[in-house]
Amino acid sequence: MSDNYLSSPRGFKSWLTTVDHKRIGVMYLASILFAFLLGGIFAMLIRIELLKPGHNIMSADTYNRVFTLHGAIMIFLFIIPSIPAALGNFVLPLMLGAKDVAFPRLNLASYYIYVAGALLAVTAMVTGGVDTGWTFYTPYSTTTNGSVGLMTFAAFVLGFSSIFTGINFIATIHKLRAPGMGWFRMPLFAWGIYATAIIQVLATPVLGITLLLIIMERVFSVGIFNPQLGGDPILFQHFFWFYSHPAVYIMILPGMAIISEVIPCFSRKTIFGYKAIAYSSIAIAGVSFLVWGHHMFVSGQSPLANVIFSFLTFLVAIPSGVKVFNWIATMYKGSISLEAPMLYAISFLLLFAIGGLTGLFLGALATDVHLHDTYFVVAHFHFVMMGGTVMAFLAGLHYWWPKMFGRMYSEKWARVSAALIFVGFNVTFLSQFVLGSRGMPRRYYNYLDQFQPLHVFSTVGSWILGLGFVIMAGYLWASLRRPLEAPANPWGAVGLEWQTASPPPEHNFEKVPIVTGEPYDYSTPEPEAAEVQA
């Protein structure tokens, strides 16, 4: 037990030059949690500013920069790398019974590219700031002052980090599965990561070139997005959403992948409809490329395009619905235990259902015209991104924490924090659905008096939410100071990652595991008793 990946080899330098996927995963985890803290602080500042109309703690210009930074940090620095690059890096090779990812050095390179991108983003923040919103819409983004050029370059660089992770995971899943693990014996987490990686590889380069074009437009006035020079600003929106809508699924698919692991484990039941869940991940990835126009219903694109995009958008609901029903069917008549990972998984089911269904209001042309650019949209994507992805990330973090660090956290405090986060989240964002449906526009610094009660409600919710995260930081930090005593398989789960020690040895497995049965076989009462190696 003493010789694990955390302690061997020793020394700071051995971490900086490591090619071990587990260490890279841990470094990613520390980095994205820092980004989450930063983005979270900006979120709290936004909510405090909106406590009452008019000037409270910052000027209108500062407010524009703060909400841009909140969005850009949360998306590019936190949520996109969160599950794949941090948790996925750590657990995917373990789940497949592999010693590492296919390209360990590329993996380390992707981490350093991420760090470089993050540093560029921070530089852009402190040298002029960015006030365009994370969407960088032209022609504003090509004419406003500040560090838009640097920020778009930072996002360009971060894109490469994401592409390299995606390439690495696809090759890993194709070539490094343990003997006996056919495609349909893979954990569903791997299917979800695979679908995510496809989108990362196919969509991110388009964002890359789009961001370069913004830089070109700012430096050379090349004209492509500038109507004064004969260009087309709507073309930018097409380019941007061609990446950024699939990117939404880069964010949610890995979340769904975690839920498919946690729910069977804490329901003590085989997953219901394995193949349907696996295929629906791929279906979501496919459809994701055909729906970008639903962000542009009021941009002036042709009515025919609007109708087609609206119809295609409804299609996304089918594979998403398939997944949700399968998870619920998995829980049906299961022996459910409500430890922290399961609490977050159930939060995910509830919140993602609301987030998904409110998405249909926005995908429907007639209602979107009214709801476009209101708080309804803000609430919708926070339900999907935070209520969905972040809850799933927290489920995964709590599920694999003992595996990653060999220590258990305080279950009692974990439940308290899960409850606070669930309540705080709903108070913060349910109120924003109401605000939006009553006409409160998003990104506004000031608002009419009639909206104040709901804004106060939302801001108080953000404090409850914040408190939940502070408690989480406390008990997770405290757990790291405990002795290494987590068992190899604290939850009695059946994945291969639980068959090696916690924390795992440097090369993952003492001997290469051989897969002989189906995944999610919870038919034997206590699988860990039979399968854990010494």
Contact residues: other proteins, CB under 8 A: 98-104, 106, 163, 166-168, 170-172, 174-176, 201-206, 208-210, 213, 216-217, 220-224, 229-232, 235, 239, 507, 511-512
- Determine the Cα–Cα distance for residues 248 and 257; give it in Å rounded to an integer: 15
Least distance from C-beta 165 to other proteins, angstroms? 12
Nearer to other proteins, 236 or 266 (CB): 236
Q: Report which of 275, 403, 277 is spatially closest to residue 341, judged by C-alpha positions.
A: 403
Least distance from C-beta 133 to other proteins, angstroms? 21
Nearer to other proteins, 239 or 405 (CB): 239
Nearer to other proteins, 81 or 208 (CB): 208
Residues in the chain: 534
DSSP-derived secondary structure for 285-308: HHHGGG-GGGG-TTTT--HHHHHH
Least distance from C-beta 242 to other proteins, angstroms? 9
- Cβ neighbours around 481 below 10 Å, total: 7
Nearer to other proteins, 321 or 505 (CB): 505
Query: In one letter, which amino acid is 99?
Result: K
* Residues 206 and 239: beta-carbon distance below 8 Å: yes
Least distance from C-beta 164 to other proteins, angstroms? 9
Query: In one letter, which amino acid is 412?
Result: K
Least distance from C-beta 252 to other proteins, angstroms? 22
Least distance from C-beta 103 to other proteins, angstroms? 6
Give the DSSP letter of residue 270: P
Q: Report which of 208, 78, 215 is spatially closest to residue 155, judged by C-alpha positions.
A: 208
Nearer to other proteins, 175 or 275 (CB): 175
- Determine the Cα–Cα distance for residues 238 and 150; give it in Å rounded to an integer: 22
Give the DSSP letter of residue 184: G
- Determine the Cα–Cα distance for residues 119 and 111; give it in Å rounded to an integer: 12
What is the dihedral angle through the alpha carbons of 92, 97, 102, 104, rounded to the nearest 10 degrees? Answer: 70
Record the tokens describing residue 12, joined without a space.
């700071």
Nearer to other proteins, 92 or 277 (CB): 92
Least distance from C-beta 509 to other proteins, angstroms? 10
- Determine the Cα–Cα distance for residues 379 and 430; give it in Å rounded to an integer: 7
Nearer to other proteins, 170 or 397 (CB): 170
Least distance from C-beta 221 to other proteins, angstroms? 4
Nearer to other proteins, 172 or 310 (CB): 172
Tell me the CA end-to-end span of the chain in Å, nearest whole number.
Answer: 9
Least distance from C-beta 2 to other proteins, angstroms? 22
Element (H, E) at 82: none
- Determine the Cα–Cα distance for residues 407 and 452; give it in Å rounded to an integer: 45
Residue with tokens 């992948």: 257
Helix/strand/coil (H/E/C) assignment for every residue in 148-179: HHHHHHHHHHHHHHHHHHHHHHHHHHHHCCCC
Angle between helices 233-267 and 274-287 (to 10 degrees): 170
Least distance from C-beta 419 to other proteins, angstroms? 42
- Determine the Cα–Cα distance for residues 250 and 237; give it in Å rounded to an integer: 19
Nearer to other proteins, 50 or 206 (CB): 206
Least distance from C-beta 205 to other proteins, angstroms? 4
Residue with tokens 């829980």: 331
- Determine the Cα–Cα distance for residues 60 and 134; give it in Å rounded to an integer: 17
> CA distances (Å), 173 to each of 265, 279, 392, in order?
22, 16, 22
Nearer to other proteins, 23 or 323 (CB): 23
Nearer to other proteins, 156 or 266 (CB): 156
Give the DSSP letter of residue 419: H
Nearer to other proteins, 172 or 326 (CB): 172
Least distance from C-beta 201 to other proteins, angstroms? 5
